[in-house]
Structures are given as C-alpha cells and as structure tokens.
Structure 1
Amino acid sequence: MREMLLMKAISFLKTQGFNVSTFMETNSCFDLVANRSDLKLVVKVYSNIDGFRKEQAEELQKIAKAFEAIILIIGEKTKAFTLKKGIVYERHLIPAMTFTTFVSIFDTVVPSVKYFKGKSIVGLDSDKLREKRDEFDLTLEELAKKTGITKESLYRLEHGFNTSIETAKKLEKLLKADLILEKNLLDDFVQTRKQTFSEKFDQKEKVFDEKFDDASLEKIHSLGLDVIEFKHAPFKAFGTKKEFLLIDKGKEKSDLTKKALVLEKTKAVFDSHSLILTKKFNLEKISSTTIMQEEELDSYSKANDLMKEIKKREKK
C-alpha cells in the first residue's frame, strides 16, 4: 500500500510540472524530493503515519532549512483512526495528510481544516460573523442561547480565534452564511516555510552544526562551509557557502557507486554539487560526483579552493 501511495504521488507531481526523484529504497527520513521553478517538496510516505519517528522529523526539518523546501507526510491512518480527506494533521510538527488532501492543496482554494487534540479545527471569518450577528439583531448573549456556545467563546471567535468544525457549521446554519475560511493551502505552506527559513537562517547556530561526530566534516566546516550533519538522510551531510554541496562517505567501491547514484538523483532535483569522501580509493569522480580521499582535505585552507576542485572534477 505504501508503494502504491508513493507511485500515485510521483505520478501526480509530474502532472504538476515537478522534477521528481525517489529514495524509498534508502530507508531514509524522506521518500521523494520534487522541484519546479516555484516550489521544492520533500515527502515521506506511510500507510500508518505512527511509524514516523521524532528523529526522522528532526532530520526533515534540517532538510527543509537546507533546501528551502516544504516538508510533509502522505499517509492513510494512525493506530487509532483513518485520516480524513480535507484535514491537515501533524506528526512531530510535520504536516500529514491523505493523498486526496495532498492533491487538493494544489487547487485554488479549499477549507482550511486542521486536526488538533482529537478535533477538526477551522478558522472563521470573524468580521463576517460579527456582521451576520448584527444583521440578525442578536447580542452575544442571545446568539449564545440559540447555539449553545458560551458568550465568552463567541467573543473569541469574533476576534480571530479558531474553533471546531462542528461549532462553525452550527453558526453557519443559524446565521445562513459561509463563515469557514478558505485558503490556498499551497500558498499557506510556502509562506510558513519562508517565515521559518528566514527566522532560522537569521540565527545560523540553530540551523548549522558546530560539532561533528565525523572528523572529515569537522575539517570541511573549518574551511568555511556551513555544514549540517545527518543520521537519517540518504547522504551524510549538507554544506553551503554560496552553493550547495551534498556530502557522503564510502568504504567499498560498490558502496561508492551506490552513494553516487543517490547523490546524482538528489542533484537532479536540487541544484547542488556532490562529494564522496573515502579512505582508500584513488578515483576522481563517479558520474558527476567528485570522489576524494579524506587526507586530500588537508591540502585545502579555504572553502573556495575545495569547491573549485570539486567543480573541476565534475567537468572532466
């Protein structure tokens, strides 16, 4: 079932003009990446979204910050219930939704429904709510009696607070008006991503790592590259100064080939360079991915010099 969901997502994204690469076979924190001129997506697919772990969510947040991408989960159910179409859930702060809901975010506008503490939550047009109450010549107290909603809750709704979809529909029926806010969810996701990216990159220490488990990453960082180290992504690290650099490490020659393929697939979607570090193989590149012995890093004193060599080998 998970494979079917993934194939449906890939097929749909291609119809929307995205360049797509898949990573389901790598057992990483994401299954596909997609890019078109206006948008980058990183997606994890599950039948049961309870399988998505906190450490995977943390890695996905790093990926989103690195590539300025929207991250989300496509799934069908949790252990307790089946996901409903039209509702955006959360799993470890990552938006989760059915495939049908995923498709709908590319529509012009849809009701903005989120799942929170067992309830479907919507936003209301607070100005329209006040206008309709005045039109029916009702005080807050009178409307409270007619709907069974407390006066205090109605006051909050008229001042921009969200409510359950049941409460919203009750008000819509009584006041004979469409009150539930509709949003272009894609624009909403993009705006949220931009705000998060801007806030985090203004505080680099919260995005990029300063300490590393791997000595070669420590060396690359010392050259002047900002680096993020991964444990659940299909590559070891991401580095940047002015350009993106995907970094991995390989031990055996067959290992190098597999890792280069993954980096090539990522590069095909996200504009970046790629580097695999090894201890014993004297190769210059595989496909367009640079291969470099770890000891070679000691010959560089600046990030620019390292990047020049990587680009040189890419072109050979």
Structure 2
Amino acid sequence: MSNMPMPRDQIITQINELLSKHGFDTSNIYDRSCFDLVARKELLLLLMKVLVNVEGFSVAHAQEIKRVARTFFGSPLLIGLKSKNEVLEENVVYERHGIPVIAPSTLRNIVVEEVYPEIFADRGGYYVEIDGQIVKEMREQHNLSLKDLADLAHVSRETIYKYETGRVRAQPETAFLLENILNMRITLSVNLFAVPPNEEETEIKSGEPRELVDLGFGVINTTRTPFDALVRAEATSKKAESLITDLEKNRNQKVLQKMANNLHDLSAVIGTDAVFIMENKNAKECIDGLPVVKSWEISEMKDPSEFLKMIAERKECS
C-alpha cells in the first residue's frame, strides 16, 4: 500500500463534497488564490486554504486571507496533511502565521460529529485551556482543598491555583486526570472560527480607485484573490456594507466574462454584491449579469448611497 500523500486537488474535492453534503453553500475552487474554497452555513463563513505541507503557506497569503476574512466577518482556516515531515494529528489545532491549522479528519469530525478539538500545538508540546471556574466549583463541591486536588493530580498547589484563575494552560494528560478526579469536563474547545482582529488600521485608506476613496468608501486592494479589491462602506453603523470589486486592467472580453462568473459565485456564497469598475466610457452597463460602474460616473456622485443605488439598478441587466 502506497505511503504517498493524497494529492492536493483530491483533498480539496473531498472537502467540498463533505461541506456540501452537510448543509454548506460552497464556492468554486480557486487554485491560485490566498483561499481555495469559501463555504457558508448560516452565520459561519469559512475561507479555506488547502496544502499537503502547510510550511508552504506564506506570510503574504496569511495577511491577505485575514484581510478578506475581516471584511466579511469570516474565519480563515488552513487545512493540511503535514508540517515539514510531521503528520498533523487528528483533533489537534496547529497555527501558521496567525491562521489555525487542522487536518482534514479534524474538519470532518467538526462537520459530521460536531466534535470540536480541545488540544492545540505550541512550542514545547500539546496544551489545553481549562475552565478555571468549573475546576474551583467542582473542587469545593468535593470538599477538596487546593493541596488535596494538587496531590491527586500530581501537580503543585500553585499550579491548581493558576488553573482556577486562568493564568496557565495545561498539558492534556493533567487536564484529563483532573476531569476523572472531578467527574466533570473542564477543558475548553479551541476557538477555530474567530474573525481575525484588525491589525492594519490604515489598510482601507490607501486603496484604488481613488474615486471610491474620495466618495467615502474604504478600499482594500488584493493581489492573491479572484478579484482586484474589496470595498467597504465606512458608515456610522457597526455593520459596514461590503462589495467585491473588480477593476479593469486592459482585460479582453473573454477574461472579463470568466471573472464575472467568479464574482457571481463568490458573491452568492459570501452574501454580498459584486461590481466591475471600468475606465472605458463605452463599456456596457453589465457583463454577464454583473453590474458595471464607470469611473467618471463615480466622480460625479455626491455620497456612497448613489453608488449603491446604481449597483442595485444595474443588477441582472441584459
């Protein structure tokens, strides 16, 4: 029997089928992007990159997938088979450039069994987070002092105190021993689906086209995605309206039609609008059902609402 790893495209196909079978809306597969697949189920939006060896995931790809995920309140996730020469273990969460990393079998357990990993890998080994309040409550219910519980778990009194006050993480063996002693689950699942924190305060102020920036939008240019930029309406409300935007770069009609198909696909899964921004004054008002807005039209607008209104009017034009 061969020990060769499964081909990457086969892993992506299996993940796509798994998610589709269990209620996720999934996108096309985008091989030369910071993400290979986007999937949504209710409020959960996943942007996934799949690699056989996760060491091939660069800082640049990590930064870009985090930008896109932040804009759409999504969760970036890296799925792989190994790191260097070490096989990624099932139900263990790893990390690469600030992106959580799991094996395909871990994703399957989450999707099919709703079993979420509790163990994460870090320098020095494997660890778990402990619910210190539960430990304290159960210790007191069992009429155990800090020293009593420490002796039973073969750790120091100070360590038990740090567990209860959330100051240290635990090795899995110690945590599972405490669970047996207290007859209660005390470990916390790893939060795989967090939205990345905002790391770049100026990222939405330096984009192109300048017409949209001048109109009051935040623009995030991208280089490793099936589109050219993201547009975010900087309104006073907490929920900003997001648009996938494609900027014309002397592309021929065939390329634009292919990009229109990609934008349709992604906008449907993500749940946002998509639009072409064109310099050509003679361009049609839509490409394959995707609205087209010309730069000169934006320059004559007074506020973001006019841009959003034009997109709505040109949707699904013939």
CA contact (8 A) 1:273 1:289 kept: no
More helix by share: 1
Please give the secondary structure, in 2, of the residue aligned with 1:123: strand
Please report how far the alpha carbon of residue 32 of structure 1 lies from its aligned counterpart in structure 2 after TM superposition: 0.8
Match of 1:246 among 240, 244, 263: 244
Please give the secondary structure, in 2, of the residue aligned with 1:47: strand
Q: Which residue of 1 aligns with 2:308?
A: 307
Match of 2:217 among 219, 222, 225: 225
Q: Which residue of 2 aligns with 1:85?
A: 90
Q: Which residue of 1 aligns with 2:17?
A: 11
CA contact (8 A) 1:49 1:77 kept: yes
Q: Deviations over 1:248-270 (max 9, x none)?
A: 12312222122212111111212
Please report how far the alpha carbon of residue 211 of structure 1 lies from its aligned counterpart in structure 2 after TM superposition: 1.5
Please give the secondary structure, in 2, of the residue aligned with 1:77: strand
CA contact (8 A) 1:283 1:292 kept: no
CA contact (8 A) 2:128 2:188 kept: no
CA contact (8 A) 1:18 1:36 kept: yes
> How high is the TM-score relative to the length of structure 1?
0.82
Mapped to 1, the partners of 2:133 and 2:274 lie a distance apart of: 52
Asked if residue 286 in structure 1 is aligned to residue 287 in structure 2, the reply is yes
CA contact (8 A) 1:235 1:259 kept: yes
Deviates more, 1:136-145 or 1:110-119: 136-145
Change (3 A) 1:292 1:170: same
CA contact (8 A) 1:43 1:74 kept: yes
Please report how far the alpha carbon of residue 282 of structure 1 lies from its aligned counterpart in structure 2 after TM superposition: 2.1
Deviates more, 1:234-243 or 1:259-268: 234-243
Mapped to 2, the partners of 1:46 and 1:246 lie a distance apart of: 25
Pairing of 1:123-202 with structure 2 (within 5 A): 123-126=129-132, 129=135, 149-160=155-166, 161-171=168-178, 175=181, 177=183, 179-183=185-189, 188-190=191-193, 192-193=194-195, 200=198
Q: Which residue of 2 aligns with 1:271?
A: 271
Please give the secondary structure, in 1, of the residue aligned with 2:174: helix
Mapped to 1, the partners of 2:134 and 2:308 lie a distance apart of: 57
Asked if residue 65 in structure 1 is aligned to residue 70 in structure 2, the reply is yes
Change (3 A) 1:86 1:208: same
Please report how far the alpha carbon of residue 148 of structure 1 lies from its aligned counterpart in structure 2 after TM superposition: 5.1
Match of 1:96 among 101, 119, 144: 101
Task: Give unmatched runs, 5+ long, in structure 1.
Answer: none
Change (3 A) 1:141 1:283: same
Task: Give unmatched runs, 5+ long, in structure 2.
Answer: 1-6, 234-239
Change (3 A) 1:315 1:134: closer
Mapped to 2, the partners of 1:296 and 1:136 lie a distance apart of: 72
Change (3 A) 1:17 1:236: same
Q: Which residue of 1 aligns with 2:51?
A: 46
User: 1:221 is aligned with what amino acid?
Assistant: V
Aligned identity (percent) is 27
Please give the secondary structure, in 2, of the residue aligned with 1:163: coil
Please report how far the alpha carbon of residue 210 of structure 1 lies from its aligned counterpart in structure 2 after TM superposition: 1.0
Mapped to 1, the partners of 2:125 and 2:170 lie a distance apart of: 9
Mapped to 1, the partners of 2:258 and 2:176 lie a distance apart of: 54
User: 1:249 is aligned with what amino acid?
Assistant: L
Mapped to 2, the partners of 1:133 and 1:40 lie a distance apart of: 39
Change (3 A) 1:32 1:137: same
CA contact (8 A) 2:50 2:79 kept: yes
User: 2:41 is aligned with what amino acid?
Assistant: R
Deviates more, 1:233-242 or 1:65-74: 233-242
RMSD after superposition: 2.9
Q: How many residues of Structure 1 are paired with residues of Structure 2 in the alignment? A: 300
CA contact (8 A) 2:206 2:220 kept: no
Please report how far the alpha carbon of residue 47 of structure 1 lies from its aligned counterpart in structure 2 after TM superposition: 1.0
CA contact (8 A) 2:119 2:126 kept: yes
Q: Which residue of 1 aligns with 2:8?
A: 2
